[in-house]
Structure 1
Amino acid sequence: MRRHAIHYLILPGWQGSPAEHWQSHWQRSLPDASRVEQADWLNPQRDAWIARLERHIAAAPGRLILVAHSLGCITLAHWAAQATPALLAKVQGALLVAPADVERPGCPEALQNFAPMPRSLLPFPSLLVGSDNDPAASAPRAMQMAHQWGAEAVLLSGVGHINVKSGHCQWEQGFAYLYRLQGLIEQQARRRA
């Protein structure tokens, strides 16, 4: 039975997610959750981050829901654009929170090697949660990413980058979006049955 359970794989963004970040809270709260630990959180390299994500997905014993924030969303989209069908089949869905626009004017130099932005449809259900005042991605850009990736989109008002700095530590209301994603996954499974 255990092998059929959903595993939540958390993908932090640039500089990682400290203990007080909602991703860390979710990792402690969700059953069967772990995170992708990158070798270098301060100087991210696209190929290394993608390879680390791929190793985590390959090692996972069963089905996965990916929970990504910021640069983690971009890493996920790059991975999905080049992953094998066998590994893609392990991913049931993805929650994409406050994706970072690595092509924006003034983007930190450390993130620019993740450009160009991946534009391929994600081959699994996804839900993108953005903000109308996120310094890492404008509202129109977040909506464009959602459209390009085939993700359902939610644009929140005045919540910044949805991180510790913007006051989102536990982010309990975020679980509603995770449940919404799980509903999308179930809908797709019924359509395929």
Structure 2
Amino acid sequence: MVTWFSVVFAFVILQRLMELMIAKRNGRQMVALGGFEVGREHYKYIVLLHAAFFAALFGEVFARGNETMTPHGAPFALFCVAQGLRVWVLLSLGKFWNTRIYVLPGSEPVMRGPYRFLRHPNYVVVALELVTLPLAFGAWLTALLFTVLNALVLRVRIRAEEQALIEVTAYAEGMGDRERFLPTLKR
């Protein structure tokens, strides 16, 4: 039987697989242009976090018998908004978007799209998804656990990313006045 949960879950898994293909292509392009990867040592934890998230989401939804439910309106609406923001981020970053951290020495920071308003809109999107998708299907334990775990992983990732960008690009000059996660609306 086709359910809301099965359709949404399949959509998100397919979306992630497509993003991994885009990331691989963009990574090769960055290296060809003289870029390099940083934060490789923590990337495996990000992969583990996301794989465990999908397993936990699937398990909790079925354990609660929520697999046939219609998604809760507000969390599902926010999840859908996050999907639009995800596309905006991908289009804005173009070749610079990746699931890994690649930096291109001498490059200017991307300051268009949502990057006009905040430094890390992609991480805002991920955080929104990790809380809203489970809540849309009544999986509140998954929402809580993975929101906390994501915050812990992002503490390490953002430090590594910003340090590398500050060292080899004009990141500090371009993005220094923007908040990390909350929009700066004076732009």
TM over 0.5: no
- Please indicate the TM-score interval, normalised by the length of the shorter structure: under 0.3
- Where is the strand percentage greater, Structure 1 or Structure 2? 1
Specify which structure has the higher proportion of helix.
Answer: 2
TM-score by structure 2 length? 0.27
TM value normalised by structure 1: 0.27
